[in-house]
Structure 1
Amino acid sequence: MKGSSIGYLLKEGAKNVWVNRMMSVASIGVLTACLLLIGGAVLFSINVNSIVGYVESQNELKVYLKSDITDDVRSSLDANIRKVANLGDIEYIPKEKGIITFSKTMGEYSDLMAGLEGDQNPLPDAYDVKVKDLSALNATVQALQSLEGVDSVAAPVEVAKSITGIKNAVTVFGIIVVAILVLVSLIITANTIKITVYNRRKEINIMKFVGATDSFIRLPFIIEGTILGLLSALLAFLAVWVGYDYLLSHLTQGAAGWLSLAYKNFVPFDQVAMKLFIGFIGAGVVSGMFGSMLFVRKHLRV
């Protein structure tokens, strides 16, 4: 195909968007709405996982040491415990510091702890360790308990199960919702383009009868579908951007309690903007091209 022919077909594809502007607006509106729903589902899933991840990072294990542990064993244990996988921050808590901290948690009843210093201190030395991935909690606890000098490990097993379950459920739910919305957007967009192609079936048939090749007939429709997809993607991206920033600014003004915690762990839009933009462009172009190629082919069989 000559360069002049390609230029002509490109102009025709762009021209068709304006000539059939009512159907173009309908196509853009439908695809933009679908992309908005997909973008909202993706952002919701990302932010829930971010919040759950923060809660996950705050869970701690308490590693209690044996009361008769020697200095040599304690020294080697300090090195070995830092080699255990899946651990984040590690802090050694000698029993002298532990009793002071425990007394503060007693509040007005802290006087009950009087006299429990020195040799009377019933608390063992311990380590406070944070776990990176709660789904691997059991393996981490077993690794810690196998270390020489460790008496026991206190772990939030039930909390870990709940958080892991929520995280997995949100991930699966997000994937299912996005997949359904992508399928719906493809079907709706394809049907919208189908109507456009059907309204111009006589034009296609005439071009076919006068000897135009299938590629020559198909290309303007593909270009038209691509333009519609690009415009829809840009509109959806801008709408999601403005809406997300508005939501965050609104939460900033009235955030309190758990809502404040959630807001602090919301993912900034600029962190996901590029991936979301590329995803929108890809989905828009594929939807437009898919619909055009699928339904133009039917009218090429004359």
Structure 2
Amino acid sequence: MSSSFDKFQKRRLISSYFSVVLSIFLVLFLLGTLGLFIINSNKLANDFKEKIAMTVFFKNEANDTILKQFGTEIKKAPYARSISYVSKEAAAKQHTDIIGEDFLTFLGENPLQNSYDIHIKAAYVEKDSVAKIEQDLRKNEMISDIVYDKQLVNMVNDNINKVSMWILIISGFLTFIAVLLINSSLRLSIYSNRFIIKTMQMVGATKSFIRKPFVMRSVKLGMLGAALAILALIGLLSYINANFPDLGILEDKILIVLVFAAVFGFGVFIPWISTHFATQRFLNLRTDDLY
């Protein structure tokens, strides 16, 4: 009889531990996935910004020395991500490939101009910054024109700001939900031991002595749930990187490690603080209120 009851209690305890670990694992996995999405969405946004090219056209009077000197100066500029020189012959060939017909045979001469395509660093792809760069470049008398998509620059920044705001709101909401879910699971676990807590208190055990084993157990369960969440996130990253290598999802290893550290930190801190207050609540209740 006693053996059956002990087995029942053991199964009940294991089930309680499993539900707590599962809750912590699922919540932390979702938070970690959101964190990885945030750091990679910023990277994708920056990559998109840096694909916007500013094309600088030169007058026909600009010789090779002037063109090479300009390229050297731009390479040293703090805003330049990359530059590429496009000669008017190369530009004519590109137009011919696009049109499918050699337009030079009709015109008799090449009307195109030598140019540089400048890809600006993401931090400088702002309306005011790009306008300042254009203004400085136009001081060069050998430059005939500067062309870039001004509307696209404005649209990209406006949309990125809106998306970033919503990501922050969703992140805050999910973090709040995560704390509530983990807290609820741990409070239920402590609730099932409320009589043990009160019995220990009645025989003279101090509050800190009673709290310690419950807090330590919750922290261990939280660490286990966090470790499982990190393993699942590693599996998710490996899967995405194997199937979509162009995303470069594993390039920012430091940020990925920081996300993992945050997940583990949540897995330790939330169970600790939740168990502390849940245990304290039952310690402060009268014996009659336990029922």
Number of the residue aligned with 1:267: 249
- How far does residue 281 in structure 1 lie from its aligned partner after superposition? 1.0
Separation (CA, whole Å) in 2 of partners of 1:286 and 1:269: 29
2:156 matches 1:151: no
Q: How big is the alpha-carbon RMSD for the aligned residues of Structure 1 and Structure 2?
A: 3.0
Number of the residue aligned with 1:123: 112
Number of the residue aligned with 2:105: 114
Ranges in structure 1 where 5+ consecutive residues have no aligned partner: 1-15, 253-261
- TM normalised by structure 1 equals 0.77
Separation (CA, whole Å) in 1 of partners of 2:96 and 2:84: 19
2:49 aligns with one of 43, 53, 56: 56
1:65·1:151 contact (CA, 8 Å) conserved in 2? yes
2:92·2:112 contact (CA, 8 Å) conserved in 1? yes
Number of the residue aligned with 1:186: 179
Separation (CA, whole Å) in 2 of partners of 1:295 and 1:17: 23
1:93·1:128 contact (CA, 8 Å) conserved in 2? yes
Once the two structures are superposed, the pairs formed by residues 73-152 of structure 1 within 5 Å of their partners are 77-107=70-100, 109-110=101-102, 112-114=103-105, 116=107, 120-133=109-122, 134-135=125-126, 136-152=129-145
Number of the residue aligned with 2:226: 233
Once the two structures are superposed, the pairs formed by residues 244-259 of structure 1 within 5 Å of their partners are 244-249=237-242, 252=243
Separation (CA, whole Å) in 1 of partners of 2:233 and 2:263: 11
Number of the residue aligned with 1:292: 275
DSSP 3-state at the match of 1:268? coil
- How far does residue 148 in structure 1 lie from its aligned partner after superposition? 3.7
Separation (CA, whole Å) in 1 of partners of 2:144 and 2:275: 69
Separation (CA, whole Å) in 2 of partners of 1:32 and 1:269: 25
Separation (CA, whole Å) in 2 of partners of 1:41 and 1:132: 26
Separation (CA, whole Å) in 2 of partners of 1:193 and 1:270: 34
Of 276-285 and 239-248, more deviation after overlay is shown by 239-248
- How far does residue 25 in structure 1 lie from its aligned partner after superposition? 1.6
- TM normalised by structure 2 equals 0.79
Number of the residue aligned with 1:282: 265
1:43 aligns with one of 27, 36, 49: 36
Number of the residue aligned with 1:209: 202
Separation (CA, whole Å) in 2 of partners of 1:48 and 1:210: 57
- How far does residue 165 in structure 1 lie from its aligned partner after superposition? 3.6
Separation (CA, whole Å) in 2 of partners of 1:84 and 1:273: 30
- How far does residue 36 in structure 1 lie from its aligned partner after superposition? 1.7
Q: 1:235 to 1:270 in 2, by over 3 A?
A: farther
Matched pairs, number: 272
Number of the residue aligned with 2:5: none
- How far does residue 216 in structure 1 lie from its aligned partner after superposition? 1.0
- How far does residue 270 in structure 1 lie from its aligned partner after superposition? 8.6
Aligned-residue sequence identity (percent) comes to: 22
DSSP 3-state at the match of 1:20? helix
- How far does residue 297 in structure 1 lie from its aligned partner after superposition? 1.5
Of 63-72 and 196-205, more deviation after overlay is shown by 63-72
1:28 aligns with one of 5, 21, 39: 21
2:36·2:259 contact (CA, 8 Å) conserved in 1? no
Separation (CA, whole Å) in 2 of partners of 1:70 and 1:173: 51
Separation (CA, whole Å) in 2 of partners of 1:148 and 1:229: 66
Q: 1:183 to 1:95 in 2, by over 3 A?
A: same
Separation (CA, whole Å) in 2 of partners of 1:234 and 1:93: 52
Number of the residue aligned with 1:4: none
